[in-house]
């Protein structure tokens, strides 16, 4: 069963027409500084490891790094924290995004088949578990219903400093994720967080398990 980590999963999703945050995988501080210069600050530094799924639990995410000195400190601290857990850990670097954090997932139920999940993302998905589900594939009316069903839907309207999220853009995004999952027979997909601001939705982190191409697993 094919496993696609963040960089590989984003490359796959980008080819399928979904919006992703450009990401570089880096193995050294020198490479991180070089890629950050290409991306422009602020940046986000994250670990890239098959053994560590929940990056934030081990201090594997540092967001909003404003410059080279701060990146060097963050990189060295992250190496010290995570290399004892996974000696093969690599790192990824991407632009810092802002907006409402959402989560979209695909799972495969042995009885019903593919299921799409939607809810608030980031740490909120673990704390609030404010999510809703539908069978794949979905249509626009299903996506609208999913948006209305989450308790945190008021955040999408733009309150307490959060930017409003364009409902039609979010609906199109959910339908497209469903289409990709259905057409490529994805067994598991975890898009969290997806940053949403206005009409813009961007996948900041992704993980995929089991995807087919021309009838054969990738």
What integer pLDDT is reported at residue 213 of this predicted model?
A: 64
What integer pLDDT is reported at residue 136 of this predicted model?
A: 97
What integer pLDDT is reported at residue 192 of this predicted model?
A: 92
3-state helix, strand, coil in the chain (%, to 5): 35, 30, 30
104: helix, strand or coil: strand
What integer pLDDT is reported at residue 217 of this predicted model?
A: 42
pTM above 0.75, yes or no: yes
Domains along the sequence of the chain with CATH = 22-95 (3.30.1490.20), 100-217 (3.30.470.20)
Q: In sequence order, what are the beta bridge partners of 209?
A: 3, 188
CA-nearest of 8, 194, 192 to 90 is 8
Give helix 167-183 / helix 140-149 axis angle, nearest 10°: 120
Token duo for residue 24: 């570089």
pLDDT in tens, the chain (218 residues): 588 988 999 999 999 999 999 999 998 999 999 999 999 999 999 987 777 767 777 888 999 999 999 999 999 999 998 888 877 788 999 999 999 999 999 999 999 999 999 999 877 676 668 899 999 999 999 999 999 999 888 889 887 677 799 999 999 999 999 999 999 999 999 999 999 999 999 999 999 998 876 444 45
- The answer to whether residues 125 and 205 touch, using CB atoms and an 8 Å cutoff, is no
- The answer to whether residues 105 and 117 touch, using CB atoms and an 8 Å cutoff, is yes
- The answer to whether residues 108 and 135 touch, using CB atoms and an 8 Å cutoff, is no
- Rounded-to-integer distance, Cα 2 and Cα 210, Å: 5
What integer pLDDT is reported at residue 24 of this predicted model?
A: 94
């Amino acid at each position: 069963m094919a496993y696609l980590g963040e960089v590989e999963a984003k490359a796959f999703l980008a080819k399928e027409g979904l919006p992703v945050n450009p990401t570089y995988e880096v193995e050294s501080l020198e490479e991180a500084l070089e890629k950050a210069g290409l991306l422009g600050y602020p940046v986000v530094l994250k670990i890239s490891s098959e053994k560590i799924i929940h990056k934030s639990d081990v201090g594997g995410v540092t967001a909003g790094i404003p410059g080279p000195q701060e990146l060097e400190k963050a990189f060295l601290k992250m190496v010290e924290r995570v290399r004892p857990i996974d000696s093969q850990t690599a790192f990824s670097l991407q632009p810092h995004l802002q907006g409402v954090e959402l989560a979209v997932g695909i799972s495969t139920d042995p009885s019903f088949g593919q299921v799409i999940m939607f809810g608030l993302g980031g740490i909120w998905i673990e704390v609030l578990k404010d999510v809703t589900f539908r069978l794949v594939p979905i249509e626009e009316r299903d996506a609208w219903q999913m948006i209305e069903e989450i308790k945190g839907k008021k955040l999408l309207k733009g309150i307490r400093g959060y930017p409003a999220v364009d409902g039609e853009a979010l609906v199109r995004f959910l339908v497209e994720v469903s289409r990709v999952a259905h057409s490529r027979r994805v067994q598991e997909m975890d898009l969290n967080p997806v940053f949403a601001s206005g009409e813009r939705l961007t996948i900041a982190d992704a993980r995929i398990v089991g995807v087919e191409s021309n009838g054969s697993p990738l």
